[in-house]
Amino acid sequence: MSRSEAVDREFADRAHRIDELVAALAAEVGAGLDDGAIAALDPATARRLVSTAARCWAVAAEEGAEPPDARDTTPTDAVALATAALRSHDLNPFDLALWFSRSSS
pTM of the full structure: 0.76
Average pLDDT, the chain: 90
Q: What is the spatial distance between Cα 63 and Cα 66, in angstroms, rounded to a whole number? A: 9
104/57 same-domain check: yes
Residue 88, exposed/middle/buried by CB under 10 A (0-12, 13-18, 19+)? Answer: exposed
d(CA 7, CA 13): 10
Which range marks the domain in which residue 75 is found? 42-105
CA dist 18 and 20 (Å) reads 5
How confident is the model over 29-54, as pLDDT tens digits?
999 999 999 999 999 999 999 999 99
If asked whether residues 32 and 77 sit together in one domain, one would say: no
What mean pLDDT comes out for the span 43-66?
A: 93
Q: Are 53 and 63 in contact (CB under 8 A)?
A: no
pLDDT (0 to 100) of residue 45: 96
User: Do residues 49 and 33 both lie within one domain?
Assistant: no
> Which amino acid would we find at residue 7?
V
Same domain, residue pair 53 and 103: yes
The two most distant CA atoms of the chain are separated, in Å, by 51
Q: How far is CA 31 from CA 4, 47, 55, 73, in A?
A: 41, 19, 25, 16
State the total domains in the chain: 2
